[in-house]
Amino acid sequence: MRMLRGIAASPGIVMSKAVVYDFMEVIEGGQISPLKADRPLAEKGKKPKSKSGKENYELSKFASALEKTKHELELIRADFMSCEVQPQIDDYHSRILDAQLLVLEDPTLINSTIDKIKIDNLTATQSFRKTTTEIMAGFKKVKNEYIRARVADIKDVTNRVLRNLKGQSQLSALQQVGAKRKSRFIGDRHIVIAKDLSPSDTARLNKEIVSGFATELGGSTSHTAIMGRAIGIPAVVGISNITDSVKSGDEIIIDGNHGIVIIEPDESTRRIYEDRIHRFQVYEKELLSLTSLPCRTLDGHTVDLAYNIELPEEIDVALVFGASAIGLMRTEFIYLKKDALPSEEEQFEIYDSLAQKVNSITIRTLDLGGDKLLPNDNRIKERNPALGWRGIRVSLAKRNIFNTQLKAIIRTNRHNNVRILLPMVQSLDEVKLAKSCIKKVAKRLAKTGIHYGENIEIGVMIEVPSAAIIASAIAKEVDFLSIGSNDLTQYMLACDRTNPMVAHIYNPLHPAVIKLIKHTVEVSHSARKWVSLCGELASYPPAIPILVGMGIDELSVAPIYLLEIKKIIRSLSKNETKAIAEEVSGINSEIEMKKYVNKIRNRFPVIEEIMSEYENT
């Protein structure tokens, strides 16, 4: 039995057989040695005797591997065209496949491989591997991010050729699982173990055959992790060397609540986990029974519960949980995915497809480091990107980009359920300027007969401390405020939580952060505007009574936490939480705050139950 720790990427616990999908294997490993005359000439098949006979054999082997790979890529393309993926993903994949097909016809790749077969006397496999290693070395020097982003796709295609040269099966991870399911382990769902899952693999992850996955690469916000959460299967990511530690067919436990993977568990561990899985299933079932119930306290106070989404796919889980409002839609993915800036039409299609499915949607304008939108030559190296050129600062400087996004958002308001949210605001003047931009775009659209911008609601993210301090003035300018507790904490405590040396300082329950949140809520209410909170604090169970007590109007959380937060709110009374919020705002020491949080846990069994489900045992 072995236990590996990674990052908890998607909750749930599952025990099943592993299928190892070794996606990168072929290119990294393998030694290249010139073939000796007395060695078998090819791995399989006839052994040609003469040099030219051998050469022809290797050349034709190479040609047929290229042909076979081309055929596979065409099959994948046909597969994509036929399956129901979002149109924007479809387009993205089809462009990747386009470039991949060109790699197969690449004269540099082909000629260099042929030269090695002819001149260096290597096998087709050796020649091709050596050639790709040389080419990849060239790519290592490339600095352009858009090009670097394509390297994985090129590796994907050269790996396919290599596997075809070696006569290995060319099924995708999921097809592999499907095939093995039919043959060896009938009836079981499997755990996929991989270095990384490509977008094409994750897009096709199927709950019917995959019960969980663990990967070497990725963090909690990587594409793989988000997809795990979106389709609701447990996942652990960022576990080094897991593909070396696990063989297909091994018994595996994935504990997505704690980020733990156990390989070949012993009898007692197995029993503990069987118990835990059962408990978690009961727990989840109980949560699902809350789906259609209102998010209201015992004494009748309603808190709006909304969810954050980073990728459109995430909406599916939220809909299952009965949620009907998107409290924060991040739009960065639209800009990161494409090689070129997204057009108004592309954006509109994405926003509109989501707006149709919900009662309300708050779309945050681009919150990206501006450097990602510029060509390499024009980039200034930022020493402090978090304090740098991002969010509204970029939008106000790059009006064309901002206007295009605003147009798309305003057009989406044809359903009359769209709000605009402005990120990274630090001054009142920025708010006024951004508002005038929105008004201008709305006016221009109105001239063409599109009037949806005239009364679209506008909100400001409260995440820079200066904005929180002047929140009363900002609230008067806009329709609502949305507290981004993650960045607010980071900026207030001057602490980068991704830096392991100072991560322990990061604490959204720091007394100063709590005081500023309370201030923001109060001044906003005096201006008769509503306030939302959309950071991780909104899904931290002991924080819920505090936030409800302060009078927060809306909590926006990741879809998977919706029901847990609803469960907590339904167990509270507004009056009781008011007193808690009062007491908490009097605390000045972090240690005191910690003690108070423990008190909250002891006082509310619902909170304690949820906490213990995710805490290390």
Of the residues 40, 138, 449, 500, which one makes contact with other proteins according to CB under 8 A: 138
Concerning whether 83 is annotated as a catalytic residue, the answer is: no
Catalytic residue among 190, 223, 295, 437: 223
Backbone CA torsion sign across 136, 138, 141, 147:
negative
Q: How far is residue 294 CA from its own chain's centroid?
A: 29
Minimum gap (Å) between residue 267 Cβ and other proteins: 52
102 belongs to the binding site for other proteins (CB under 8 A): yes
93, 295, 437, 534: the catalytic one is 534
Helix-strand-coil percent breakdown of the chain, rounded to 5? Answer: 55, 15, 30
Contacts with other proteins, 371-390, as mask; x by CB under 8 A: ---xxxxx------------
Minimum CB distance to other proteins smaller for 21 or for 92: 92
Q: Write out the binding residues for other proteins, residues 153-172 only, by CB under 8 A.
A: 154
Helix (H) or strand (E) holding 569: helix 562-570
Compute the least distance from the CB of residue 154 to other proteins, in Å.
7
Choosing from 63, 81, 99, 503, the residue that interacts with other proteins (CB under 8 A) is 99
- By beta-carbon proximity to other proteins, the closer residue of 155 and 364 is 155
**Least distance in Å: CB of 98 to other proteins?**
6
CA dist 475 and 495 (Å) reads 27
Q: How far is the CB of 82 from other proteins (least distance, A)?
A: 24
Single out the segment in contact with other proteins by CB under 8 A; choices: 95-103, 314-322, 465-473, 487-495. 95-103
3-state secondary structure 260-322: EEEECCCHHHHHHHHHHHHHHHHHHHHHHCCCCCCCECCCCCECEEEEEECCHHHHHHHHHCC
Give the residues across from 190 on adjacent strands.
17, 210
Using rule CB under 8 A, residue 143 touches other proteins: yes
At position 482, the amino acid (one-letter code) is: S
Which C-beta is closer to other proteins: that of 103 or that of 124? 103
Q: Is 519 a catalytic residue?
A: no
The residue among 37 and 137 lying less far from other proteins, judged by its C-beta, is 137
# residues contacting other proteins (CB under 8 A): 29
CA distance 506 to 491: 10
Q: What is the chain's alpha carbon radius of gyration, rounded to the nearest angstrom? A: 27
Q: Examine residue 90 and tell whether it contacts other proteins (CB under 8 A).
A: no
| Residue 296 interacting with other proteins (CB under 8 A) | no
| Minimum gap (Å) between residue 107 Cβ and other proteins | 5
**Beta-strand runs (E) in 457-614:** 457-462, 480-483, 530-533, 554-557
Residue 266 or 377 with smaller CB distance to other proteins: 377
∠ at Cα 54 (51, 58), nearest 5°?
Answer: 140
Shortest reach from residue 144's CB to other proteins, in Å: 5
Q: Which residues touch 297 (CB under 8 Å, ≥6 apart)?
A: 303, 548, 569, 570, 572, 573, 574, 577
Give ∠ CA 514-517-523 in degrees, rounded to 5: 140
Binding site for other proteins (CB under 8 A): 95, 98-99, 102-103, 105-109, 135, 138-139, 141-144, 146-147, 150, 154, 339-341, 374-378
Q: Which residues are catalytic?
A: 223, 534
